[in-house]
């Protein structure tokens, strides 16, 4: 009876790679990378493993496709004709938010930097830097600095958010951190004491964009 019921519950519509990737992203977001197995996918999609293997050869290929899907959404979110500097800020913030929402994306990009999603990011950022007028000899270095900053800060931010217990009050948490830091000798840590109030009140996205603007200001002097 169980076998008959399982067969009748299987999906009757054609299974596409896009639907498999979508289901994989759902599992990754809610349960983490360790929970993403082909068995979990067959259960979620109500299909057999053969139907999935027809589209995706293994878990690594699936993770690569899921990462590219998330990144592609960000890169297509910039309106055509946007001024290069603003386009870069939009792309950077989109990547920051995407990695915050999907922290496994940051892990994948840092663990396998040669995958297609990284090419997509470099193309998006590098193309805008070229349009901004960065000289040819400086393009690769400028794009590398910008991409490394974006992925590094976004990945660290996503990791930080998951180090504290769910429901933690952010302001109270930061105030406690600052209280510990400012108990240190101000003669030895004068800068920390100087910016303590700003640390409690800062907005992560604003701070991130401030770094983007600093890099773009430097790139602007290369023209």
Chain region(s) in the chain for CATH 1.10.10.60: 1-56
The pLDDT score that the predictor gives to residue 13 is: 53
Report residue 16: phi and psi, to 5°. Answer: -110, 160
- Mean pLDDT confidence for 121-140: 93
Taking 60 as the threshold, does the pLDDT of residue 120 lie above it? yes
Pick from 62, 66, 59: which is nearest to 117 by CA? Answer: 66
**CA angle (105, 108, 113) in 5-degree steps:** 120
- Evaluate whether 110 touches 158 at the Cβ level (below 8 Å): no
Chain region(s) in the chain for CATH 1.10.357.10: 76-220
What's the Cα-to-Cα distance from 43 to each of 20, 74, 97, rounded to whole Å?
Answer: 12, 29, 30
The pLDDT score that the predictor gives to residue 1 is: 41
Average confidence score pLDDT of the chain: 88
Taking the CB of residue 76, how many other CB atoms lie within 10 A of it?
9
Please name the CATH architecture into which domain 1-56 falls: Orthogonal Bundle (1.10)
Please name the CATH architecture into which domain 76-220 falls: Orthogonal Bundle (1.10)
Taking 50 as the threshold, does the pLDDT of residue 87 lie above it? yes
Between 79 and 182, the higher pLDDT residue: 182
């Amino acid at each position: 009876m169980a076998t008959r019921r399982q067969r009748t519950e299987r999906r009757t519509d054609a299974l596409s790679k896009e639907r498999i990737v979508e289901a994989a992203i759902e599992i990754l977001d809610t349960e983490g990378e360790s929970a993403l197995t082909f068995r979990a996918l067959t259960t979620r999609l109500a299909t057999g493993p053969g139907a999935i293997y027809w589209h995706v050869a293994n878990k690594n290929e699936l993770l690569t496709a899921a990462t590219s899907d998330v990144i592609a959404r960000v890169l297509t979110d910039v309106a055509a004709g946007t001024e290069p500097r603003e386009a870069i800020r939009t792309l950077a913030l989109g990547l920051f938010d995407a990695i915050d929402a999907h922290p496994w994306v940051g892990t994948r990009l840092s663990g396998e930097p040669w995958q297609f999603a990284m090419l997509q990011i470099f193309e998006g950022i590098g193309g805008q830097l070229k349009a901004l007028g960065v000289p040819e000899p400086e393009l690769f270095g400028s794009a590398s600095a910008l991409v490394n900053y974006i992925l590094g800060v976004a990945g660290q931010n996503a990791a930080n958010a998951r180090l504290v217990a769910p429901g933690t009050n952010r302001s109270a948490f930061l105030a406690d951190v600052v209280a510990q830091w400012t108990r240190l000798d101000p003669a030895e840590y004068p800068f920390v004491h100087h910016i303590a109030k700003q640390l409690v009140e800062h907005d992560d996205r604003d701070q991130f964009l401030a770094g983007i603007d600093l890099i773009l200001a430097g790139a602007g002097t290369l023209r």
